[in-house]
């Protein structure tokens, strides 16, 4: 039986990205090793598709706003909690989540000024998952390991 892997739904081609599009990548090699479990924390947290982009403006206290200044922190927390519940229910120990996302990123996020500048930081869902021992990585690691041969 293959191990389950939580994966950002947008990477599987689902049109759940903030702009209504997706971030489809070739997952042929991963599908040989894992059963992929798609999930979009932003949609599961109650945000529509499409939606205004959101960024983390503060980690302590945690605060996210969309580009119009609307506080969307609760949506991101709800989505992260649902992702965590799913990993526990399905005994998922690893997650492949979207790079640079305020929900999913494992290395960099936008700096909260909507200027396109990346800073070191993690997305809300990644923070929740890693705290509970789920290993989180992004699609860029696939290129480094030669897994993503598009």
Q: What is the pTM assigned to this prediction? A: 0.93
88-128 pLDDT per residue, tens: 999 999 999 999 999 999 999 999 999 999 999 999 999 99
Q: For residue 141, is pLDDT > 90?
A: no
9 vs 24: CA distance, rounded Å: 9
DSSP tag of 9? G
Chain position carrying tokens 């990123």: 105
**Per-domain boundaries in the chain:** 3-144
d(CA 105, CA 62) in angstroms, rounded, equals 15
Average pLDDT, the chain: 94
């Amino acid at each position: 039986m293959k191990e389950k892997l939580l994966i950002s739904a947008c990477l599987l081609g689902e049109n759940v990205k903030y702009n209504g599009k997706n971030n489809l990548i070739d997952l042929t090699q991963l599908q040989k090793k894992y059963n992929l479990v798609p999930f979009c924390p932003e949609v599961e947290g109650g945000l529509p598709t499409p939606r205004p982009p959101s960024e983390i403006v503060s980690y302590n206290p945690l605060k996210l706003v969309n580009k119009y200044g609307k506080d969307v922190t609760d949506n991101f927390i709800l989505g992260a909690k649902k992702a965590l519940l799913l990993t526990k229910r399905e005994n998922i120990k690893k997650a492949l989540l979207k790079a640079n996302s305020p929900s999913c990123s494992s290395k960099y996020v936008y700096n909260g000024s909507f200027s396109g500048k990346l800073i070191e930081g993690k997305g809300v869902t990644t923070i929740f998952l890693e705290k509970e021992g789920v290993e989180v990585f992004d699609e860029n690691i696939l290129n480094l390991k030669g897994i993503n041969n598009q």
